[in-house]
Structure 1
Amino acid sequence: MFDIAPTELMVVALVALVVIGPKDLPKAMRIVGLWVGKARGVARQFRSGFDTMVREAELAEMEKKWAEENARIMREHPADPPAAVHPIDAPSPPPPVHDPAPASPEDDPAPVMVERPELREAPGDHPPAADGKAPS
Structure 2
Amino acid sequence: MTATIGYDDVEVGTELPERLFPLRRADLVRYAGASGDFNPIHWSDRAAAEAGLPGVIAHGMLTMATAARLVTDWIGDPRALLEIGVKFSSPVVVPDDDEGATVSVRGVVEKKLDGNRVVVNLTTRCRGEKVLMASRATVRLP
Is the structural similarity TM-score above 0.5?
Answer: no
Q: Which has the higher contact order (CA 8 A, sep 6+)?
A: 2
Could you say which structure has the higher strand fraction? 2
The structure with the largest alpha-carbon Rg is 1
TM-score by length of 2: 0.19
